Amino acid sequence: MFFAYGGRAWRALGRLFVVALIGLLAGCATATHRQTTELQRTQGIARIVLMPLDVELAHVTAGGLQEPDATWTEQALHNIHAVLAQQAPSWNVELVDFSPDRGTPEDRETSLALVKLHRAVGSAIMIHKYTPNFALPSKKGKFDWSLGPEAAVIARSQNADYAMFLFVRDSYTTAGRLVVMAVAAAFGVGLQGGTQVGFASVVDLRTGEIVWFNRLSRGIGDLRTPQAAVETVKSLVGDSMK
């Protein structure tokens, strides 16, 4: 079973991040990935635990605000999970669901905190790795990002070599917003409609290092139906882990 974690403040931060990121990444390619190393495979297969999905779908109102839609979000969680389960065999990995009942209560608390930390670290990667003029001098051009040694808690409680984290914020333009956009366009003003922003990471649970990262930032895509979700998930994860 999959959940969208985080309180009201975290959700608000996620929506603000999407708005800011769309502006920063304007004109950039819709998807880029960075793989720093091959996955270490035990007996020919790597065991990856799929962490709770950090996903939220929303309406874009006439005024440009994003209003979360719980029904759409549940549909997206189900669709993403189904596509990942279908794709995993082609990656030659064993993809298993995160189980909150395994390990101690402290293990569970730490694991879920790492989902939120991934949101923050992934957001930093999107800005400082892929946005012009925002590179961090300390990185010296290298892809060097980590969730820290606390990731070992997941390895111990879930019996896995790696963890996969997904963050997605997907919004859809309402009829009212379309009218406002059309009127604005008539006066030569471009307004933002629905967007799809996200990133996926694979973390080495021995070290906490992000060994694979892929991003998505575009004005198309749909996670509300199984058929459309296939294209989005493949764009976000694809065949890059083979």
pLDDT of 175 over the 80 cut: no
* Tokens 């080495």, located at residue: 204
For residue 153, count other CB atoms closer than 10 A to its CB.
20
* Tokens 């009201």, located at residue: 8
Over the stretch 81-101, which tens digit does the pLDDT of each residue have?
999 999 888 888 889 999 999
pLDDT of 64 over the 90 cut: no
* Three-state DSSP class for residue 60: strand
Domain ranges across the chain: 8-189+202-236
pLDDT of residue 30: 45
pLDDT of 198 over the 80 cut: yes
Cβ pair 163, 205 in contact under 8 A? yes
Over the stretch 205-215, which tens digit does the pLDDT of each residue have?
999 999 999 98
pTM: 0.82
Cβ pair 69, 60 in contact under 8 A? no
Span 151-163, mean pLDDT? 95
For residue 67, count other CB atoms closer than 10 A to its CB.
11
Query: Predicted confidence band at 6 (pLDDT cuts at 50, 70, 90)?
Result: very low
* Average pLDDT along the chain: 81
Query: Predicted confidence band at 4 (pLDDT cuts at 50, 70, 90)?
Result: very low
Query: Predicted confidence band at 26 (pLDDT cuts at 50, 70, 90)?
Result: very low
Residue 41: phi and psi, rounded to 5, are: -110, 130
pLDDT of residue 161: 92
Torsion angle of alpha carbons 54, 131, 212, 16, nearest 10°? -10
Share of the chain above pLDDT 90, in %: 47
Residue 174: phi and psi, rounded to 5, are: -80, 165
Query: Predicted confidence band at 23 (pLDDT cuts at 50, 70, 90)?
Result: very low
* Three-state DSSP class for residue 129: helix
Residue 179: phi and psi, rounded to 5, are: -65, -45
pLDDT of 59 over the 80 cut: yes
pLDDT of residue 2: 36
Cβ pair 236, 200 in contact under 8 A? yes
Lowest mean per-residue pLDDT among 14-23, 107-116, 214-223, 224-233:
14-23
- Of the candidates 115, 104, 143, which has an alpha carbon nearest to the alpha carbon of residue 4? 115
CA 197 to the chain's CA centroid: 8
Cβ pair 155, 206 in contact under 8 A? yes
Q: How far apart are CA 58 and CA 69, in angstroms?
A: 5
Q: How far apart are CA 127 and CA 145, in angstroms?
A: 13
Span 43-67, mean pLDDT? 85
pLDDT of residue 66: 82
pLDDT of 44 over the 70 cut: no
Q: Which residue has the higher pLDDT, 83 or 193?
A: 83
pLDDT of residue 27: 43
pLDDT of residue 11: 52
